[in-house]
Amino acid sequence: MLEVSDVSVRYDGAIAALQDVSFAVREGGVVALLGPNGAGKTTLLKAVAGMLPFELGEVTEGRIRFESAELLGAHPAAIARRGIALVQDGRQCFRNLSIDDNLRAASFVHPKNAATRLDMVFGYFPFLGEMRQRQAGLLSGGQLQMLVIAMALMGSPRLLLLDEPSLGLSPVMVQAVFDVVERMHRDLGMTVVVAEQTVPRLLKIATDVYVLSRGGVAMHAAPAEVDEAALQRVYLS
């Protein structure tokens, strides 16, 4: 479904963030993208979603294809319309707007049938429906994480990219976030890539694991082959 081939990325013409990274996502898979701070996880997700030019980042080599179409050079909105949603780290939304308005704004990708999708989203996240007039900025970290995933769903993505959804959440909330990701994958057949540092819960649902280190792929393995010791070897190298 997604094929990143020999991609290198530089920021500001100088800082090499990725070097010859190849990364493939099969339709229907759940890919865990692991690696320590600064490994390049966010950069890789932003390269796929077309977000790098906004940060003086540039793909200097390689190609990125989604369902055989080249994504390099495409505008993020065009990439979103093709069916890719990136939920960035930092839980970005319009904090001074209501939950309802945030979800409606997020439907710009596919404005048709927004009302039907809103119902579906409230099915996955009932609390959002119960407090739909609440200002987004008043939500807890876990609730905000759910909101930004729900906003991505409003665009009917076929490939969902999640950047560190568990950051700063309590273990119970982390469990809840991954439960909902698992359900969306199972019920909607959505293909998912999740970038995290280490999350045992993620390895339970993953079909494929990539570990990045210093801008390169240090390991590509089946989840059963990835244990704490293997990760520590990469993280400490």
Tell me which residues touch ligand ATP (CB under 6 A). 11-12, 15, 17, 35, 37-43, 55, 197
> Which CB sits closer to ligand ATP, 12 or 119?
12
- Residue 15 interacting entry, from ligand ATP, Mg ion, none, C-beta within 5 to 8 Å by type: ligand ATP
Name the minimum Å distance from CB 12 to ligand ATP.
6
> Which CB sits closer to ligand ATP, 154 or 202?
202
Backbone angles phi, psi at 236, to 5 degrees: -90, -5
And the tokens for 87? Answer: 């939920």
Residues 79 and 112: their CA atoms lie apart, in Å, by 18
- Residue 37 interacting entry, from Mg ion, ligand ATP, none, C-beta within 5 to 8 Å by type: ligand ATP
And the tokens for 200? Answer: 């045992």
Q: Which of 103, 99, 163, 110 is nearest to 135 (CA)?
A: 99
Name the minimum Å distance from CB 41 to ligand ATP.
4
Residues 166 and 177: their CA atoms lie apart, in Å, by 7
Compute CA distances 203 → 3, 88, 110, 182, 224, whole Å: 22, 20, 32, 12, 8
Count other Cβ atoms within 10 Å, centred on residue 181.
21
- Residue 17 interacting entry, from Mg ion, ligand ATP, none, C-beta within 5 to 8 Å by type: ligand ATP
Name the minimum Å distance from CB 14 to ligand ATP.
9
And the tokens for 128? Answer: 């959002």
DSSP summary character for residue 98: B
- Residue 155 interacting entry, from ligand ATP, Mg ion, none, C-beta within 5 to 8 Å by type: none
Name the minimum Å distance from CB 128 to Mg ion.
25
Residues 74 and 51: their CA atoms lie apart, in Å, by 10
Number of chain residues interacting with Mg ion (CB under 5 A)? 2
Q: Which residues pair with 160 in a beta bridge?
A: 85, 192
42 forms part of the interface with Mg ion (CB under 5 A): yes
Name the minimum Å distance from CB 46 to Mg ion.
9
And the tokens for 35? Answer: 């690696």
Q: Which of 37, 56, 36 is nearest to 46 (CA)?
A: 56
43 forms part of the interface with Mg ion (CB under 5 A): no
- Residue 207 interacting entry, from ligand ATP, Mg ion, none, C-beta within 5 to 8 Å by type: none
Name the minimum Å distance from CB 18 to Mg ion.
12
Backbone angles phi, psi at 208, to 5 degrees: -160, 140
Interacting residues toward Mg ion by CB under 5 A: 41-42
